Amino acid sequence: MAEIAPFRGLRYNPLRVADLNQVVIPPYDVISPEEQDFFHALSPYNMINLELGKASQEDTEGENPHTRAGCLLNAWRSEGVLIRDEVPSLYHYELDYTLGSRRLTRKGLVGLLRLEDFSTGRVRPHEKTFSKVKSERLGLMLSCHANLSPVFALYSDPEGRVEALFQDREVSPCASFRDRNGFDHRLRRVTSPNVFRELRRLMQDRMIFIADGHHRYETALKFRDILRERHPGAGPRAPFEFVMVYLSPMEGEGLSILPTHRLLKHVGRDAFERVLPAAEAFFQVTPFEATEERDRRRWMARLSEAAEARRTAVGVAVHGGSKLFLLTARDDRIRRFLDDQGVPGVLQSLDVVILDRVVLRRILGLSESFLSDPRNIQFSHDLDEGLTRVLSGVNDLGFFVNPTRVDQVRDVASAGLIMPHKATYFYPKVSSGLVLHPIDVNEEVPLF
């Protein structure tokens, strides 16, 4: 069963921090060096100081961004910058955001999830993680003894029974703000034991799917194991047995995944034209005029139409070329090739798998080492931006795909499989700083 529990969250004191827009940040792993500087300059209490503090040449094992974050967190608590809620709470979180021409609302709740090894099958990943990132995050967690930001997780609830628990209550937000993108955030505390008990009942047979935050989840598992050794007398309700999560229903209308386009360098301007015959063995290749705005829009529309028809298509742009190309999959030929490669059937429907295995590796002949080097490949979630980068010569080649669907994430994770790197980009990211989970080994998590 998925075990969800309330907790006494640590939040910014409105008497010390009036505008959360000055302190709340995106997840650490999407913050550029320029954004890091920007957030550091915004406020001395900005979450960047904890999540992604600046390194110094004088740093040592005992004095570094992690140790400074731990000291800052303690100082902010003692100074009343961060204050702790007095009673256990679940936090209902609504986010109004704009995607294209649409205004959407994503709903979910922030609570604690009992940590489960993936082998139990109750918590399902879909992405590969990297040991270097986990090691760095573990150092921060050991210094702070806190979950600074939640793992973004999904569950299935087609009837909307879980969300109904929170929609029936007229509770004023305990925190609200509009961010720099014009997105509106609202956080409401729910303290009713009846809600806690009903949520526990509703979630007991549901599987949890990690949407974003795989490194944070696996880091929390390692942290749990370390603290179990340090505190052998701690029981199953020890706070390090749980991790803070943001849970959202996968059927929610406000749940969005953006595409992740691949932009290549160091392959040569004529690389794709040279392999066109090989591409035609796997795809129907349709050319469009790159220099004509109307043709470029038709190319984009055809790519979108493929997603609506649930067909695989890949858009291709070439620096210096007068043509754009749309590759529409010849399904039988691609299936035979992927079968021969030993690719499981549930992965064969993913556009990113076909792009990776068939286009980049088979047709272009690019190696794993080439594709793993950030000097050779960049990523964009915006088609117009990516196309401009290629046509202006910043990149040699661009490959444009439709987003992975939520049901595909569910199916791959349910099968115990992993997607290629950069297969999903859940949007918007869950912010860091709305609520923190302090981990005090002398406390126990309340279970109702």
For residues 440 and 277, which has the higher predicted lDDT (pLDDT)? 440
Q: Dihedral of CA 348/351/357/359: which sign?
A: positive
The whole-number pLDDT of residue 274 equals: 81
What is the tens place of the pLDDT at every residue in 202-233? 998 899 999 999 999 999 999 999 999 999 99
What is the tens place of the pLDDT at every residue in 94-119? 999 999 999 999 999 999 999 999 99
How far the first Cα of the chain sits from its last, in Å, is 15
Q: Tell me which DSSP letter residue 25 carries.
A: B
What is the tens place of the pLDDT at every residue in 26-46? 999 899 999 999 999 999 999
Where do the structural domains in the chain lie, given as residue ranges?
A: 4-256+428-438, 259-402
- Residue 94's DSSP bridge partners are 107, 186
Cβ distance 420 to 352 under 8 Å? yes
**pTM of the predicted model as reported, rounded to 2 decimal places:** 0.93
Q: Is the per-residue pLDDT at 134 higher than 70?
A: yes
Q: Is the per-residue pLDDT at 291 higher than 90?
A: no
Q: Tell me which DSSP letter residue 374 carries.
A: T
Q: Distance between CA 303 and CA 195 in Å, rounded? A: 45
The whole-number pLDDT of residue 62 equals: 86
The whole-number pLDDT of residue 168 equals: 65
For the chain, how big is the Rg over CA atoms in Å?
Answer: 23
Q: Distance between CA 364 and CA 373 in Å, rounded? A: 16
Angstrom CA distances, 146 to 51, 319, 432, stand at: 11, 47, 12
Cβ distance 312 to 329 under 8 Å? yes
The whole-number pLDDT of residue 448 equals: 85
Q: Is the per-residue pLDDT at 403 higher than 90?
A: yes
Cβ distance 427 to 99 under 8 Å? yes
3-state helix, strand, coil in the chain (%, to 5): 35, 25, 40
Region 236-259: mean pLDDT is: 96
Quickly state the pLDDT bin for 57 (edges 50, 70, 90): confident
Q: Is the per-residue pLDDT at 169 higher than 80?
A: no
Q: Is the per-residue pLDDT at 349 higher than 70?
A: yes
Q: Distance between CA 99 and CA 108 in Å, rounded? A: 18
Q: Distance between CA 285 and CA 75 in Å, rounded? A: 61
Mean confidence (pLDDT) of the chain: 94
Quickly state the pLDDT bin for 420 (edges 50, 70, 90): confident
The whole-number pLDDT of residue 151 equals: 98
Region 133-137: mean pLDDT is: 95
- In the chain, the percentage of residues whose pLDDT exceeds 70 is 99
Q: Is the per-residue pLDDT at 283 higher than 90?
A: yes
The whole-number pLDDT of residue 67 equals: 96
The whole-number pLDDT of residue 3 equals: 94
Cβ distance 126 to 416 under 8 Å? no
Q: Is the per-residue pLDDT at 438 higher than 80?
A: yes
